[in-house]
Structure 1
């Protein structure tokens, strides 16, 4: 957008409402949404309306073309109040978290489950098709023979409406770990993943599960205090 045009849009957005004292509510359908600037267009009663003001809430506001939104008209000013979703779909848009405290070990260098799977959390992913995932764990490993590494790795898998996850020793997500060379140790580590449509995240109920691997085949890595939090936005 031309800088002068953008300045005009911003000036109009900051101006006080004018016109009659009418107040009305509508359902509209998003035509366009610029994720960086919030510039938008919405179809309301069969007519496109451009650059509505937007009610700000949550950690990030993103609309997709085709999303149904609640719109308010006050005097001559229009406002997007938020997305409209049916119960059982993305109406909840909840944040989920889970913890497994029991220490459990693996000596497998391929990512997989421990005796207690997870932690895992199921949340509904809406049309934005993105979620922020936070994870942490403690890990300890015993002394190994010369020229060997000990320790463990942590990564993420997604199932349900999406199938994203570790396959063998590889993972589509960055794996974090705590590794020592010829030493006994205990430590903690954490990881953050932004999971999006580009990773294959689909609309619907998705289960996010932590997976684990040992640094050296046959050498136990013991994980404890495992935690995950999933934030759709």
Structure 2
């Protein structure tokens, strides 16, 4: 009976997630909608999927955050709401309406070519690109880890401090940027992959993967730092 209930709950969660994907494209999710979903008993995974697949208009004042907490919204969902609100601030680069799940077959994201320059930028030597870099930024297509946890893990990583890189909020301003994504379908292994780009040319300098076992932020910080350092010192 317990196994039957578990299977029934799993099927319901999958059905609701698919329903959100199909019907949530034009819907704008607000604080009240998140509170209502939490009070209705929807799991954090379903609420997260709904937020990532919808346009959002979140209020993140101190009063609003208190109302979210009192409304039963989990902390990781509140953190995700803060990130989505940051990406919609005036004067910041526009976000996509829905972040796609990461796929190993997804081609690397490249920078748009400047007008009046029809030829591609030359691909830099990876070692030289990293040696000359002074700044780095991160882009995530997954809710985890939070930006704050990842930055904290990087700043305390000894290999990363040796690189002498300053972390920036937006990739358009950085010398290097890192794309991080959850590998869709890796429910058992919890795989996350990353790709390190030279921002100016769009060239992939390094790539790797890790899992969320233990601390995902620490795992990513360790692997990303080692990838960069191994190229620079090769």
User: Higher relative contact order by CA 8 Å / sep ≥ 6: 1 or 2?
Assistant: 1
Q: Would you tell me which structure has more helix in proportion to its own residues?
A: 2
Alignment TM-score, normalising by the size of structure 2 = 0.27
What TM-score do the two structures reach when normalised by structure 1?
A: 0.27
More strand by share: 1
Return the index of the structure with the highest Cα Rg. 1
